[in-house]
Chain A
Amino acid sequence: MHGTARRATLLWAALIAATALTWWVGEGGASGPAILALLAAISIVKGGIVILDFMALRHAPLMWRLITLGWISLVWVLIGLAYWKGLSQ
């Protein structure tokens, strides 16, 4: 139920690569709605890997995937709304 070692290692490598991308965007100093959308997408993909594979919710009843994936999506929607509110001031 917890997959293979090879799959876990590949997912770990993807998570580290995604972290490097977030750091690189930060060092570049870029900002704006497109950058926010990119960083949110990276965070949701990384969170999705942790939720589905590491926490093994891929094999859990659907409700648990809906709650956890819904949580990370909702948090980023709220962050997006707040960002938009800040832009329009």
Chain B
Amino acid sequence: MSTPLALTIPPQAATPRLAGDLAIWIFILAELLAFGVFFAAYAFTRANHIALFDAEQQALHRGAGALNTVLLLTASYFVVRAVQAAEHRAAAIAARWLLAAIGCAGSFVVVKLFEYVAAFEQGISLSSSPFHMFYLSLTFFHFMHVILGMVILGALWRGAREGRYRPGDMNGLETGAAYWHMVDLVWLILFPLVYVIH
């Protein structure tokens, strides 16, 4: 006889379902709208100052931008592995994946701070040029989302350590995970737009 427990697990994705709270998804849509407006404002401002934008973009450290893309994507991958582990009742393993994701997010913060320090040492500020205004404000707006994302990942890590997430009780983990993926998603436009396209 198989254990009756197996019968209580719902079949995988039989009906369409949003992973996480509806509230976080409404919030995510608002964030995507805000970043979208910001990206369009950058692009149309650049259209009026092409020589300036192209020259100052050249001075950015594209390697640091690419490294930060890798760190965000890897953190997102680790979060996916954490969700999968929790779905398989492996809460301790889920907690370890979340800790690894926090490590990647923290490394992103360190790399970004090095970029900011280098920029400030060159006298770059919000008022030094339209490009620098966008570069600093866009990346700092995103940076604050990474910080909030780390706080959320920290809460998920604690929840996973306490064994709070398991099949049928995944909402908290999926809600936090969706926020983190949004932080990653907007960077996938920010990096090529601000660091590469000219």
Contact = CB atoms under 8 A, between A and B. Distances in A.
Given A8-B77, A22-B66, A71 B32 contact: yes
Interface residues of B, number: 51
B47 A55 contact: no
The main secondary structure of chain B at its interface with chain A is helix
A89 B185 CA distance: 32
Interface residues of A, number: 54
Contacts of B192: 22, 26, 39-40, 42-43
Determine chain A's interface SS by DSSP, over half rule: helix
A1 B76 contact: no
A85 B40 CA distance: 13
Interface of A: 1-5, 8-9, 11-12, 15-16, 19-20, 22-23, 25-27, 31, 35-36, 39-40, 42-43, 46-47, 50-51, 53-57, 59-62, 64, 67-68, 71-72, 74-76, 78-79, 81-83, 85-86, 89
